[in-house]
């Protein structure tokens, strides 16, 4: 017992010396306060905010939410009101201003127009990601962009207008996609049963939102990424490429319908991660 104490002390002294030398040489990183070296170097993971488009809801992002949360990212997929571009952008901006730290803001379809406007004046939005999304310039509407090139099947044959009451009187018009329109124009590469479920549970998209004019867009000042869906029959791929190039976006092309976050979830998540890694 009496002989082991000096040996133990000697070993502790030798170990301490090794740690000091290795730390000085950069071979060992001391974990102070429980933070990992990677965390200290790259900072906190950005919050991923996922904004859905028309005729959809936040459940369309379920695959991305699961994957990103598994990887340790904070994620929120707020409900996009789908009432009008200015008011929808104001609502999403109100969500963004409650988030601390960097944000990767992701928009699908009409959600792309919303994030283009919502991110203006929110300094911690560090990246915009468009998933087959609208990226309008100031003064442009979705109607203008969707008719820029041939190929969209969203129109009178695939839409059902339904009036709804406005607060304080008056009447608005909601647009729904028909079952056949969902199967062809919107979600042509998902199983028919799933497309029919999506059609039955779709959130209506107001005519006002479809015709609203964009303000000055955030993609002019914030780095952007864009997933072009090459089999899209809602927003023609040529129009997607035009918007991506105009925004100076890092672009990938995926053989997918208008809902690549559902039919090609891994490709969608990879692009979001690329944006997140670029700002870390």
- What's the confidence (pLDDT) of residue 20? 37
State the pTM of this model.
Answer: 0.85
Q: How far is 32 from 250, CA to CA, in rounded Å?
A: 37
Return the higher-pLDDT residue of 29 and 228.
228
What percent of the chain is modeled with pLDDT above 70? 85
How does residue 31 score in pLDDT terms, banded at 50, 70 and 90? very low
- What's the confidence (pLDDT) of residue 27? 34
Buried b / exposed e across 103-121, counting CB within 10 Å, b at 16+?
bbbbbbbbbbbbbbbbbbe
The pairing of strands 47-51 and 171-177 is: unpaired
- Is there a contact between 196 and 182 (Cβ–Cβ < 8 Å)? yes
CB-based contacts of 19: which residues, under 8 Å, 6+ apart?
A: 28
Tokens describing residue 33: 């306060």
């Amino acid at each position: 017992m009496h002989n082991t104490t000096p040996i133990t002390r000697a070993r502790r002294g030798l170990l301490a010396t090794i740690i000091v030398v290795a730390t000085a040489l950069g071979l060992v990183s001391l974990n102070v306060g429980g933070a990992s070296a990677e965390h200290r170097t790259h900072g906190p993971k950005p919050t991923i905010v996922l904004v859905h488009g028309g005729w959809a809801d936040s459940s369309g992002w379920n695959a991305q939410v699961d994957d990103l949360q598994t990887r340790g990212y904070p994620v929120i997929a707020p409900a996009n009101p789908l009432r009008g571009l200015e008011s929808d952008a104001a609502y999403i901006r109100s969500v963004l201003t409650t988030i601390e730290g960097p944000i990767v803001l992701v928009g699908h379809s009409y959600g792309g127009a919303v994030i283009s406007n919502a991110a203006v004046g929110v300094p911690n939005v560090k990246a915009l990601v468009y998933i087959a999304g609208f990226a309008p310039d100031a003064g442009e509407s979705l109607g203008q962009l969707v008719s820029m090139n041939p190929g969209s099947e969203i129109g009178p044959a695939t839409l059902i207008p339904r009036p709804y009451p406005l607060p304080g009187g008056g009447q608005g018009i909601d647009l729904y996609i028909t079952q056949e329109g969902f199967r062809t124009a919107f979600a042509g590469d998902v199983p028919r049963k799933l497309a029919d479920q999506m059609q039955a549970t779709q959130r209506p998209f107001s005519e006002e939102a479809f015709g609203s004019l964009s303000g000055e867009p955030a993609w002019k000042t914030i780095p952007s990424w864009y997933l072009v869906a090459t089999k899209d029959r809602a927003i023609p791929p040529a129009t997607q490429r035009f918007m991506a190039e105009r925004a100076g976006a890092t672009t990938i092309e995926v053989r997918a319908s208008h809902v690549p976050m559902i039919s090609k979830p891994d490709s969608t998540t990879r692009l979001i991660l690329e944006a997140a890694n670029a700002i870390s």
